[in-house]
Structures are given as structure tokens and as C-alpha cells.
Amino acid sequence: MSADVSAEATEGVTARNPVCVVSSIIFRDDTEKEILLGVRQSSPSSPRHPGVLSTPTMRIPARLYPALAVGDPPDQPGVTLLSWRTAVPIGAPRTLAEPSSFALEAMLTRKLGLADALTMGSFSGEASLAAVSLDVVDDPHGEDAAEWTLMLSYRIIPNKGVDLIPKYTKAYSPLIWGPAERLAASYFGHDALVMDESLDPFEVCIAGLCIRSAVEVIGSDH
């Protein structure tokens, strides 16, 4: 959604005081041909965006942003691609000491149910910060107001345990592997079925800053 939303829609949350989110562009393997997407489910702790096909995301404290990204956050709407890609480990010893690893493992635990797999080292991989985005994000199928959102998008390449990612969680149902090369067509065509024909066209839409950021990250790789 563009930044020309009314002031009433974003009361209390502005471009200078956005909510902060981490988003994960999880590839199935190092060929990067398939990415993980999920249909958001409303829950008491995360009521926004039900019925939206998205990358796995999670809100984080704004004060954590400086530990994850270099430099000041953007002050204009848009997606900023990052050319530097220092990889951090996921599911390895002492990853909880690395801020990016900590934030991503928290998201994988809470949103994808991988707590035991991460604890036991059954799921592991590498992640790199690929984009920083800022824009107003609405809640098309929910009841919350639009809000300014600062998003950190990470590329994640699993090297072990990808089959442990479930097909359903309380946060996303279903979770699907979709062709990365079709993501842009699906997003700009507003057609989630481009990614998976089994989705219900009357209940699922594809939208949001997380998908827009993923489209730009994937496009920059080709």
C-alpha cells in the first residue's frame, strides 16, 4: 500500500515511529528455485492479515533494529536492496549470541514451530540481510488500521532439516513451497493461485510489503 493513507489510519504509528518486522525469504535449497509462503491465520497474539499469502514474518522491538542493520533506517517509502550479504548461522551452536540469528530463530520457533528442531540442531542454515523496506501496510482481510512498517528481509538457505518445516501451524495454514520465478507475476497479478493452484481464490490473496520486498530481492538475483 502506498504512503498516501490518511492520518487517521496511521494514528500513533508514523514513518518516524514505525512498527518493526523481520521477514524471511526461505528457499528450499541452494538452487533458490522454491520459496516458502504461508496463508496467515489470525490469532490472539497476531490478529493482522488473515487470509494473506506471505513470507513468514514476525514483529520485533524497534530497539532491536540497530543491532540487526547497519546505518539509519530509511525515511522514505520503498524497498532498499543491500549489496553486502554477510551470512549468519541458523540452528548452530551459540547462535543466540548473534542478534540476527536470535531474531530469526525466534521467528522460526514462534511462526513455524521449529523450536525442537533448532534446539537439537536438526534444522540449520544460513541467513543474510537482503533488503530494508518502509511503507504503509494495510490489513485487507482484518479489522486493524493501516500502519507504517519498517521491514528487514532476510534470505535463508537451509542446509539441513528443511523437511521438518510443517505444512500447517497456528500462524500459517497452509504453508507451501512455490516457484520463486513466479512470485512477481503472482504479486503484480494479485493472483495467489499462480504460486499454488490448491489455494482457495475466494479466501486467499497475495499482497503486502513482505511479498513486494521478496519480489525485488529475487529479481536482483537474476
Residue at 2 is within a domain:
no
First to last CA, the chain: 26
What pLDDT, in 10s, does the model give residues 132-158?
999 988 765 555 677 899 999 999 999
User: Which one has a higher pLDDT value, 129 or 11?
Assistant: 129
Residue at 152 is within a domain:
yes
Residue 43 cell numbers, joined:
490469532
User: Which one has a higher pLDDT value, 13 or 38?
Assistant: 38
Residue at 12 is within a domain:
no
Write down the pTM of the prediction.
Answer: 0.89
Whether the per-residue pLDDT at 53 is higher than 50: the answer is yes
What pLDDT, in 10s, does the model give residues 113-134?
999 999 999 999 999 999 999 9
Whether the per-residue pLDDT at 107 is higher than 90: the answer is yes
Q: How far apart are CA 3 and CA 48, in angstroms?
A: 19
Q: How far apart are CA 164 and CA 118, in angstroms?
A: 10
Q: How far apart are CA 203 and CA 39, in angstroms?
A: 10
Q: Region 44-58: what's the mean pLDDT?
A: 76
Q: Tell me the β-bridge partners of 206.
A: 53
Residue 172 cell numbers, joined:
500459517
Residue at 1 is within a domain:
no
Across the chain, mean pLDDT equals 87
Residue 98 vs residues 7, 32, 105, 141, 162: alpha-carbon distances, Å: 37, 25, 10, 35, 22
Q: How far apart are CA 64 and CA 67, in angstroms?
A: 6
Domain of 180 in residue numbering reads as: 22-220
Q: How far apart are CA 125 and CA 122, in angstroms?
A: 10
Q: Region 64-87: what's the mean pLDDT?
A: 88
Angle at 114 between CA 201 and CA 161, to 5 degrees: 95
Residue at 4 is within a domain:
no
According to the model, what pLDDT value does residue 155 have? 96
According to the model, what pLDDT value does residue 143 have? 58
According to the model, what pLDDT value does residue 6 have? 36
CATH number at residue 194: 3.90.79
47-78 burial code (b ≥16 CB/10 A, e <16):
ebbbbbbbbbbbebeeebbeebbeeebbeebe
Could you give the percent of the chain with pLDDT greater than 90? Answer: 68
According to the model, what pLDDT value does residue 207 have? 83
What pLDDT, in 10s, does the model give residues 154-213?
999 999 999 999 999 999 999 999 999 999 999 999 999 999 999 988 778 888 899 999
CB 216 within 8 A of CB 82: no
Residue at 3 is within a domain:
no
Domain count, the chain: 1
Residue at 14 is within a domain:
no
Residue at 16 is within a domain:
no
Whether the per-residue pLDDT at 7 is higher than 60: the answer is no
H helices present in the chain, as ranges: 65-68, 99-112, 115-119, 183-188, 209-220
Whether the per-residue pLDDT at 3 is higher than 50: the answer is no
